[in-house]
Amino acid sequence: PAVDSARPRRTMTVSGVALGLNGGCCFAYAVLFGFMQTKLLEMYGVQADIAQWKSSDAWDVMVQVMRIVGVFEFLLAFLYFHYIDFPDKHKVGLRLGVMQYTLLALVSAYRVFGEETSDKNKTVAMNSLIIQGVFLVISVVGMTAAPSPPKRKTN
């Protein structure tokens, strides 16, 4: 049978694994934000009366915002998984990871260190900061290990 030479052969690389881990994390958050909002809140330690919350207008707005975040997480997961088959795009994909997790970590760090809030909320934000820090390191390591893209021809 003919081999499709346009599609690169998949090999295990540090950068490919980093893209896969980023994609898996984003996909998990896409499912939680998109479809399992109450489970997500429980994971973050929210012990509120969900039945009462669901009867308020604020719940409708919060669910809509969470679904929008879920869609963006799905988009990022798709991009990370898509880049795996294109080693010359690994640096680009992982640069996206570095930007994503840096920005998310800054938000969590502000919550932990710069904002007046309860110890419980600081603990939740610190847990997020740890997860974001881990994925930031994964993205940096993968990006530095990624093959350089081919040089472009200039006119």
Q: How far apart are CA 78 and CA 87, in angstroms?
A: 16
The DSSP-derived string for 15-79 is: HHHHHHHHHHHHHHHHHHHHH-HHHHHHHTT----HHHHHTSHHHHHHHHHHHHHHHHHHHHHHH
pLDDT digits (tens, 9 = 90+) for 37-58: 888 888 887 776 777 777 888 8
Is the pLDDT at 71 greater than 90, yes or no?
yes
Q: Which two tokens stand for residue 110?
A: 């502000």
pLDDT (0 to 100) of residue 59: 82
Q: What is the pTM of this model?
A: 0.83
pLDDT digits (tens, 9 = 90+) for 13-43: 999 999 999 999 999 999 999 998 888 888 8
Nearest to 30 by CA among 78, 90, 88, 62: 78
pLDDT (0 to 100) of residue 108: 95
